[in-house]
Structures are given as structure tokens and as C-alpha cells.
Structure 1
Amino acid sequence: MPLQIIQNGTTNGWIPQIWAQEVLAHLRANIVMAPRVNRDYDTAIATYGNTVNVPLPLTLTAADAPDSGSTTVSAQSVSVELNKFKTVDVRVPDLFLAQSRPDVIANITRAAGIALAEAIENALLALYPNAAASVGTAGTDVAADTIRLARQKLVEAKVPPTEEKFVVLSPKDYAAILGDPKVTNALNYGGAEAIREGRAPTLYGMTLLESQLVPVVTGTPNTTYNLAFARDFAVLVTRPLPAPMDGTPAAIVRDDESGLTFRMVMRYDPTGKYHTVSIDVLFGVKAIRPEFAVQVRG
């Protein structure tokens, strides 16, 4: 079941399915790194500060036979603290009006979904200092040849040949790639889609992605830290938060497709005469294979 909604308490007219589906749609649409790193999620309830042990990818070596003996496989894990607790609080003066007007609820849930997505993406992109290698020059635009060098670094780090490789680029550097002669040559790079749609194709076997959240460090010159990586570079751990104990209407949402979970809580303020819908997420991130990432500086 791709989407699971568990309700708690009386909703008093609040329809969490409406909010959950809309928030989730915008959350999925605005995450770039989250679906492309290693993910660990579970139905077990957790709270801020809990630690989760995540199994590390197993690596084995082929030895000469028959005298090599057997290899004892020991499960290794890494501890990831659930130290990212992000919330979006939306004040709704008329709950029933909001739920009866698709445009109203779409506007609210879109903003909430984008805000949660940015929180998760910022945490993952902030892992760039852990990358074991770097290419490119600060203060310049990334070129196609820089992408090729990043791919070389990942291959030399023994990223499996079947493993998909990604590059997350800032708007500045994504635009530079779109204008690179090696990309605009439609005969070599799969038609005119880059020019027609403003979308860069796969380049040297690397999937190019654009993010407005790529870190830029101010200096002389400024340094843009784009990131090339494979799945096992980092892990994103999410856990559902507990429902309020006082019977406050709440819904715990778990999405198997994205591996994300979030909680929605609805409260009414009798003084202000409005409802507040809080949408929050608990997660942690950690670099687990630094050699599977390359800083692509621009």
C-alpha cells in the first residue's frame, strides 16, 4: 500500500485524506536528493533525539579457491540520530471552506509540501563536506568536461557499474551545462530536448538534476558546491512521530513510494476563532560512503 494514513481522535469535520494526498504530491514533486539516496524508514514510532542503527551495504572479496576458506559475514551498521524535527503550521480561519474549495487547499498544501521538501533537501545537500573527492574550480561555471571528471572519480571509487550516478547542480551551473556545445549538439545527445524543454539529458552516464538549494559559500570567489553521488553515499532515516496523547485530531502519514513519513495535527483556537493544521516530519541524515560522492565546484 503506497500511502498509509492512521487517524487519531475525532476530526470534527477535518478530512486528513484531502490534506495528506495534496501535501504528499507536492513533497514528492520537490525532492531531488531524497529519493536517490539510501533510505531507511519504519512504522515504529520515534521522538526527537532517538538513534536508529542503519545496516551498512555489505562488501565481499572473491578469493582463490579451494584453499581460501570461508568469509565470516558480520552485520555492520551506522548510528543515525533523528535530530531534524521540522514543522509547518498553517492557520485556517474556515476549515470547511478550505476543504470545499480545491484552489484554497491546493495553495495551502503546496506551500506546506514545498517547505518540508526544502528542509529535507537542505539537510542532504549539507553533507557535501563529506565527499571524498572534488573536481571543478570555484567561481567558474561547470562544464560538460567537469561532469566527465566527476564520473571518473565515482568509477575509480568502485561505484558498481549498474549503480545509477547523479549530479545535483545549482541553477547557474545547470544553465551553463544547457549552453555547453557538447550538450546542445543534438546529434550526440538525444535530440533537441535540452533546448526545447530546458532539461539537460543524461551526460556521460550521469543523471543531471537541478536544485535551487545547492550550497554557495561566500568568498573570493564564491564557491558553489554541486554534488555528484551514488545511492549509498548517504542515508535518509525517517520515522513517524507519535499522535498527541490528549485526543487532539491527528493523522500519521507513511508513504512507501518516497520513504517519507509525516504527521498532521489539527487544533482549534477558540480565542482567535481559527484552526491550525501542523504538518511535521522527523528525520536524520548521514554520509555512510564518502567515497561515493564528489564535490563539483563552480
Structure 2
Amino acid sequence: MIERILTVGGFTLVSRLTGFFRDILMAAVLGAGPIADAFLVAFRLPNHFRAIFAEGAFNAAFVPAYARIREQGGAEAARKFADRIFTLLFASQLMFLALALTFTPEVIRVLAPGFEKDPGRFTLAVELTRITFPYLLLMTLVTLYGGILNALNRFAAAAAAPILLNLTMMITLALAAFFPTAGHAAAWGVLIAGCLELALVAGDTAWSDVIAKFRRPRWDADVKRFFVALGPAVIGSAGVQLALFADTIIASFLPAGALSALYYADRLNQLPIGVIGIAVGTV
């Protein structure tokens, strides 16, 4: 147990530290103004939904179910279960992504209504959100593969994956001069990082011969039990995220740069919590 905590804690520490330096670079390149505000809304939206449907809520429902099925029914039964959940998640997230990309202006009007007073900031937020929102689909799959690895006591890849986000964003921010705006550089960094994170954890599951694949879904007892367990976990996560949604809504009415300043302050506050709490909670 101690070894696992140290493994996850070590990667999480590196992730938080590189995230801190990423935010320093964001502050230097994006600053605290309309471009930074637009990017942060575009970055927060997929992350809010990821926090609700994936991460803790998903792992709380999936990992025990996968481990139980693997113990009772064997590796093949666990593989079939993971395949069905993978197929259902991919299909549902793909439909959600299509809706989000189609109705992005309406989503921004709901979650950052104050931006409508500034057409330039609103238009940029819509454009950047369409770049970053596929990150939600990628992270949902990362969470699934990470859950499979966690059930097998393989924590390193999932713990290391967020480091790729920080490093990729730092690279694209350093190359901001080659993008229309620094916000575009950061947004594309998010999307590229999502692809790299998925490649990392999917590669580890393939190496372990437990990679989930498409399979015709069956609404069997195990799948039903999973979604029954997922529901309360999602509701619990949603409560916290709704409060953060409210922060974004209120901050959108403040002068340009206020949302960015709140983000930087929150990141400083979350640094010590993330290193210790997430590491122990995951293991």
C-alpha cells in the first residue's frame, strides 16, 4: 500500500508542480484579460463535465465492479464487462460531443452569460470551446482505461497522464506566436494532450492485455449494477461542480481579467490538496 501511495503521490507531485509552472507560463503569455477569460471558460467546460461523470465518480463505480467480476468470473468476463462499458461510454460521449459542438454558443450563454456584453470575448470563447470540448471524450476513455489499470494495481500510467497535459500546454504556449492568439495555442495544447494521455493509458492496458474494445452492449446484471452505483457518485460530484459553475457564471459579469485572477488564486489553493488527497484517495 505504501509503495502504491508513493508511486501515485510521486507522479501526482510532478503533475502538480508542472501544472504550477504551466499556470505561471499561462499568466505570462495569456495574462489576465479577455483572451485568458475566453480560454479558461473553454478549458473549464469539459473539465467540469469530466469531474462530474468521470474521475472519482466513475472509479468509485467501475473499479469495484471490474475487480469483483474478474475475481468471480475470470479475466474474460471482466474483459466483456469493460468492453460493454467502453462501448456505452464512447457512444454516449460522442452524442454529447456532437450536441455540445452544435450548440456551443447556447452553452456559453448559459455558463458564461456575462460574455454576451463583450462580443469579441464571447466569439473567442465559442471558438476555443469547440477546440477543447473533445477533450471530454478523450478523458472519459482515459478514466475507463485508468480504472481497469487501477483494478489491476497498476497506477503509474494513469497517475502520469496529467503530466502530459501540463507539458504539452507549456510547449504550445511557448509557440503561441504561430497561432491566431495565445488562447488558440493553449486550446490546441489541451486537445493534443488529451490524445497523448489516451495513448499512454491505452498503451499500458494493451501491454497488460486488458484493453477495452468495442462490443455489442448488453444490458445485463453487471452493467445495471454499475450504472446504479454510478448514479449517486455522479450526483455527489455534481454538487461540487455546480458551485464551480456558479463561480464562472458570476465571474463572467465582472470586468475582463477577473475570471483569470480567480483561476490563478484557486490553483494556488488547490496545490497542496491535490498532492496528498488525490494520491491517497486513488490508492
- Structure 1 length normalisation: TM-score? 0.26
- Whose RCO is larger (CA < 8 A, sep 6+)? 2
Q: Which has the larger radius of gyration?
A: 1
Return the structure number with greater helix share: 2
Return the structure number with greater strand share: 1
- Structure 2 length normalisation: TM-score? 0.27
